[in-house]
Structure 1
Amino acid sequence: MDDSAELFSVTSPRKALQELLQLLSPPTLPEETVPLAASLGRYLARDIIAPEQVPPFTRSTMDGYAIRSRDTFGASGSNPVYLELVGKVSMGEAARIEVGAGQAAAIATGGMMPPGADAVLMIEYTDLVDETTLEAIRPVGPGENIIGAGKDIERGETLLAAGARLRPQELGAMAALGITKVSVRRPVKVGILSTGDEIVDIDERPGPGRIRDINQYSLAAATRETGAEARSLGICPDEAAQLETSILRGIEECELVLVSGGSSVGVADLTPRVINSLGEPGVLVHGLAVKPGKPTILALVRDTPVFGLPGHAISTLDIFRLVVAPVIRFLFSGKEDATGPEPTVRARIGRNIASVAGRVDRHRVVLRHDNGQLWAEPLLGKSGLISLMVKAEGVAVIPLEAEGVSRGDELEVELI
Structure 2
Amino acid sequence: MSGHDTNPVGWEQARELAYAAGRAAAGPAEPVALPAADGRTLAEPLRALTDLPAFPTSSIDGWAVRGPKPWRPVGRVLAGHVAPPLTDDGTCVEIATGAMVPSGAEALVRIEASTVDADGRVSGEPKVGPVPEWRLPGEEAHKGEELLPVGTPVDPAVIGVAATCGYESLTVFAAPRAGLLVFGDELLTGGTPGAGRVRDALGPQVPGWLRRYGATVDPAAVAGPVQDTLEAHLTAVRGALAHADLVCTTGGTMHGPVDHLHPTLTELGAEYIVNTVAVRPGFPMLLARVPGPDGRPRFLAGLPGNPQSAVIALITLVAPLLAGLQGRPAPTLPTVEVSAPVRGRGGDTHLALARLDHDGRSATPVGHVGSAMLRGLSNAHGFVVVRPGTEASAGDLVPFLPLPLTTGERR
Shorter-normalised TM-score: what interval?
Answer: 0.7 to 0.9
The 1-side partners of 2:340 and 2:242 are apart by 48
The 2-side partners of 1:412 and 1:104 are apart by 61
- Name the residue aligned to 2:86: 98
The residue type paired with residue 394 of structure 2 is R
The 2-side partners of 1:409 and 1:120 are apart by 56
Decide which of 183, 197, 203 is 1:216's aligned counterpart: 203
The 2-side partners of 1:137 and 1:176 are apart by 28
The residue type paired with residue 55 of structure 1 is P
| Residue pair 1:44, 1:183 contacting (<8 A) in 2 also | yes
The residue type paired with residue 330 of structure 1 is G
Aligned: 1:250 with 2:249: no
Q: Percent same amino acid among aligned pairs?
A: 26
- Name the residue aligned to 1:290: 279
| Residue pair 1:396, 1:411 contacting (<8 A) in 2 also | no
Aligned: 1:9 with 2:1: no
Could you tell me which runs of 5 or more consecutive residues in structure 1 were left unpaired when the two chains were aligned: 72-81
Deviations 1:247-287 (A, max 9, x none): 2223333211211112245444332343245315x223222
Deviations 1:57-113 (A, max 9, x none): 211456787678xx9xxxxxxxxxx96566676444444573877888776653422
**Residue 324 of structure 1: how far off its partner (Å):** 0.8
The 2-side partners of 1:368 and 1:241 are apart by 49
Deviations 1:24-81 (A, max 9, x none): 64264484x654323311345666666555433211456787678xx9xxxxxxxxxx
The residue type paired with residue 355 of structure 1 is G
**Residue 194 of structure 1: how far off its partner (Å):** 1.0
The 2-side partners of 1:328 and 1:373 are apart by 25
The residue type paired with residue 233 of structure 2 is L
Helix, strand or coil at the partner of 1:98: coil
- Name the residue aligned to 1:74: none
| Residue pair 2:14, 2:316 contacting (<8 A) in 1 also | no
- Name the residue aligned to 1:390: 378
Q: What RMSD in Å do the two structures reach over aligned CA positions?
A: 4.0
**Residue 380 of structure 1: how far off its partner (Å):** 0.8
The 2-side partners of 1:241 and 1:368 are apart by 49
The residue type paired with residue 316 of structure 1 is A
| Residue pair 1:91, 1:110 contacting (<8 A) in 2 also | yes
**Residue 367 of structure 1: how far off its partner (Å):** 3.6
| TM-score with structure 1 setting the length | 0.74
Decide which of 353, 360, 367 is 2:342's aligned counterpart: 353
Change in 2 beyond 3 A, CA 1:233/1:93: same
| Residue pair 2:323, 2:330 contacting (<8 A) in 1 also | no
| Residue pair 1:398, 1:405 contacting (<8 A) in 2 also | no
The residue type paired with residue 25 of structure 2 is P
- Name the residue aligned to 1:79: none
Change in 2 beyond 3 A, CA 1:99/1:224: farther
- Name the residue aligned to 2:300: 306
Could you tell me which runs of 5 or more consecutive residues in structure 2 were left unpaired when the two chains were aligned: 292-296, 406-411
Residues 60-79 of structure 1 correspond to what in structure 2 (within 5 A)?
60-61=58-59
**Residue 199 of structure 1: how far off its partner (Å):** 1.7
| Residue pair 1:99, 1:105 contacting (<8 A) in 2 also | no
The 1-side partners of 2:397 and 2:12 are apart by 22
**Residue 159 of structure 1: how far off its partner (Å):** 5.9
Decide which of 140, 163, 187 is 1:175's aligned counterpart: 163
Aligned: 1:55 with 2:53: yes
The residue type paired with residue 214 of structure 1 is A
Residues 15-414 of structure 1 correspond to what in structure 2 (within 5 A)?
15-20=13-18, 22=20, 25-26=24-25, 28-29=27-28, 31=30, 35-43=33-41, 52-61=50-59, 84=70, 90-95=78-83, 98=86, 110-117=98-105, 132-135=122-125, 138=128, 144=132, 146-154=134-142, 164-182=152-170, 186-201=174-189, 203=190, 206-230=193-217, 231-264=221-254, 266-280=256-270, 282-302=271-291, 303-333=297-327, 337-339=329-331, 347-356=336-345, 358-369=347-358, 375-381=362-368, 382-392=370-380, 394-400=381-387, 403-413=390-400, 414=402
